[in-house]
Amino acid sequence: MEDLSEQKPAPTTAWLWQALTGVGLIVLLALHMMTQHFIAEGGIRDFAGVADYLRNPIVVLLELLFLVTVTAHALLGVRSILFDLGLSARAETTVSRALLVVGILTVAYGMWLTWTITQQI
């Protein structure tokens, strides 16, 4: 089957990812809210609480997955709003690339922060 659109990422794909990350967030956000606020004593963890929480590698993995998903969904949303302006094809590619960079930096920051915290235990 041929490509319907030459653009990268293909518009249908972008929307699909938007929808999929959105659905994923229903679970991941609920998880994050529960473990960070409703289970945590006092509703928010102090430093010792955070360090303790991050000791579990599965927890780290889930929180990282949450960060990737929420960042992707958020930046795809920004892309959608910007594309509404009727940009040129070149501008659209630039915007997509710039947002990708922002996304990568955001996740990298999250990974760095997690590592920094666990180093301090």
In the complex, the residues that contact other proteins under the rule CB under 8 A are 1-5, 7, 10-16, 19, 22-23, 25-26, 29, 37-38, 42-48, 50, 70-71, 74, 77-78, 80-81, 83-86, 92, 106, 109-110, 113, 116-117, 120
At its nearest, how many Å lie between other proteins and the CB of residue 58? 20
Cβ pair 17, 76 in contact under 8 A: yes
At its nearest, how many Å lie between other proteins and the CB of residue 83? 6
State which residue, 58 or 120, has the beta carbon closest to other proteins.
Answer: 120
How far CA 44 is from CA of 41, 107, 114, in Å, comes to: 7, 22, 17
At its nearest, how many Å lie between other proteins and the CB of residue 78? 7
At its nearest, how many Å lie between other proteins and the CB of residue 56? 17
**Nearest alpha-carbon partner for 13 in 96, 104, 101, 102:** 96
Instruction: Count other Cβ atoms within 10 Å, centred on residue 82.
Output: 15
Cβ pair 22, 91 in contact under 8 A: no
